[in-house]
Amino acid sequence: MELVIEGLSKTYANGVKALDNVSLRVPKGMYGLLGQNGAGKSTLMRTIATLQDADAGSIRLDGLDVLREKDAVRRRLGYLPQDFGVYPRISALDMLDHLALLKGLVHPGERRAMVGAMLERVNLFDHRKKALASFSGGMRQRFGIAQALIGNPQLLIVDEPTAGLDPGERNRFYNLLAEVGENVIVILSTHIVEDVLELCSRMAIIHQGRVLYEGEPEAAVAALAGKVWQRRVPKADLAALEAGHRVISSKMVAGQPLVHVYADTSPGDGFTPAAPGLEDVFFSRIGGLC
């Protein structure tokens, strides 16, 4: 099973080019789509989910033409949108039952069994009679996965699912996704580097509608070996340092900026070698440093 995207482009009516000749190969397993806000992730996700059209390009899911055979794709698709925001006062059980009916599970006995199994799977069975409106952020996202999994989709799309979750909830959500990702294609869009690091065997970095990297996170990190250097600097010296070096990132660590720069050989100036991480990959790619 494979999702193949070729030459996908989309310009909105206001002139924003949200996707610019995007090509990706997405195999079974967890695939991370990493980009800042506004990079084009949701546009790509909605297009794969058959909810909007592209101006050019193609998407194929095995033998299916995703942009044309929309009904057939929808039968194989689970989607957790970024703004999955329906949290009515009805119970998780009733809502999931209703959504399963909409997805075509018309036989009441089968539907009840499937809905129960789904609630078990996302660890919400004990909360099934509680109103969705009373759920925490993490419980809502797990419910979102349960609704996306109705009908055993081959392709699962989850758009920015960990935003707003506390660390404990995020971990529980990671574990759930990792389990799901063993059997189907899961595309996870995120601006959180850690999401990709923890979960994804393959990834793409997307920036201003373009793919800047596609491959294994480890390979991208390995390619930076020996090229990342770090130094703590007083805040007052930061601007001068940024002017003289190819700065990957500067972040506050214990109240003082820790600067990472990109250089093929030691930049001197008090810098020491740093072990590169995925965050270095992300910022050096979107900063056009490599």
**Binding region for ligand ADP (CB under 6 A):** 12, 14, 16, 18, 35, 37-43
Q: Which has the closest alpha carbon to 196: 212, 215, 180, 182?
A: 215
Nearer Cβ to ligand ADP, position 54 or 241? Answer: 54
User: What are the residues whose beta carbons fall under 8 Å from the beta carbon of 211, sequence distance 6 or more?
Assistant: 22, 23, 24, 204, 205
Helices (H), 79-131: 92-102, 108-121
Phi-psi label, residue 236: left if phi above 0, alpha if psi -120 to 50, beta otherwise: alpha
Of 41 and 260, the one with the shorter C-beta distance to ligand ADP is 41
Q: How far is the CB of 158 from ligand ADP (least distance, A)?
A: 12
**Minimum CB–partner distance for residue 125 and ligand ADP (Å):** 32
- Could you tell me the smallest distance in angstroms from the CB atom of residue 186 to ligand ADP? 17
Determine how many CB atoms are found less than 10 A away from the CB of residue 28: 17
Q: What is the 3 state secondary structure string of 166-235?
A: CHHHHHHHHHHHHHHCCCCEEEEEECCHHHHHHHCCEEEEEECCEEEEEECHHHHHHCCCCCEEEEECCH
Q: How far is the CB of 289 from ligand ADP (least distance, A)?
A: 21
- Tokens representing residue 4 in the block: 């193949």
Tokens of 170: 């995020």
Which CB, 41 or 76, lies closer to ligand ADP?
41
> Which of these, 178, 101, 191, 104, lies nearest to 145 by C-alpha position?
178
At closest approach, how far in Å is the CB of 45 from ligand ADP?
7
Q: Are strands 228-232 and 210-215 parallel, antiparallel or unpaired?
A: unpaired
Q: Tell me the closest approach of the beta carbon of residue 148 to ligand ADP, in angstroms.
A: 18
Angle between helices 137-149 and 108-121 (to 10 degrees): 140
Rank residues 18 and 261 by Cβ distance to ligand ADP and give the closer one.
Answer: 18
The CB-of-46 to ligand ADP minimum distance in angstroms stands at 8
Q: Nearer Cβ to ligand ADP, position 38 or 267?
A: 38
189 or 284: CB nearest ligand ADP = 189
**Nearest to ligand ADP of 60, 191 (CB atom):** 191
